């Protein structure tokens, strides 16, 4: 995963990577739930920081978080309803690219901003 030179954000992104890499096919729903919970906490923390420091790009960033969370919920529900193939395909082939795009486009700006505020 791309480093943004912000310990806080990089920490979440490394943990995300580790969860995706360690996905257990035998307990796929449990792994997926752990990923959802981690992502909710990760995004909520970024959003709290954006508010705290009055980050101007807050809205655009928040909207992309919402889209990713909706995507995760969509595939999680699919897996819950017995359509695991689609959800497994998303975890294997879609999610990392989606996160990578978010990190490059939006988290990178936030990391620069947070560095200027003295947040590591
Ligand atoms: Fe992030
Ligand atoms: Fe973000």
pLDDT per position in the chain (120 positions), as tens? 789 999 999 999 999 999 999 998 889 999 999 999 999 999 999 999 999 999 999 999 999 999 999 999 999 999 999 899 999 999 998 999 999 999 999 999 999 999 999 987
In order, the DSSP letters of 4-55 are: -S-HHHHHHHHHHHHHHHT--GGGHHHHHHHHHHHHHHHHHHHHHHHHHTT-
pLDDT for 24 equals: 84
pLDDT for 91 equals: 94
Q: Give distance in angstroms: CA of 103 to centre of ligand 2.
A: 7
Q: Give distance in angstroms: CA of 46 to centre of ligand 1.
A: 7
Q: What is the CATH number of domain 7-116?
A: 1.20.120
Q: Give distance in angstroms: CA of 60 to centre of ligand 2.
A: 10
**In the chain, where the domains are located:** 7-116
Q: What is the DSSP letter of 117?
A: T
Q: Give distance in angstroms: CA of 82 to centre of ligand 2.
A: 30
């Amino acid at each position: 995963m791309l480093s943004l030179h912000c310990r806080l954000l990089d920490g979440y992104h490394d943990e995300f990577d580790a969860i995706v890499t360690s996905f257990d096919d035998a307990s796929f729903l449990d792994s997926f739930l752990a990923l959802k919970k981690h992502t909710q906490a990760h995004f909520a923390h970024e959003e709290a920081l954006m508010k705290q420091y009055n980050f101007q790009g807050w809205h655009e960033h928040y909207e992309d978080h919402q889209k990713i969370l909706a995507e995760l919920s969509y595939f999680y529900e699919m897996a819950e309803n017995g359509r695991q193939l689609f959800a497994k395909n998303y975890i294997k082939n879609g999610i990392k690219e989606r996160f990578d795009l978010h990190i490059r486009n939006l988290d990178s700006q936030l990391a620069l901003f947070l560095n200027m505020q003295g947040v590591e």
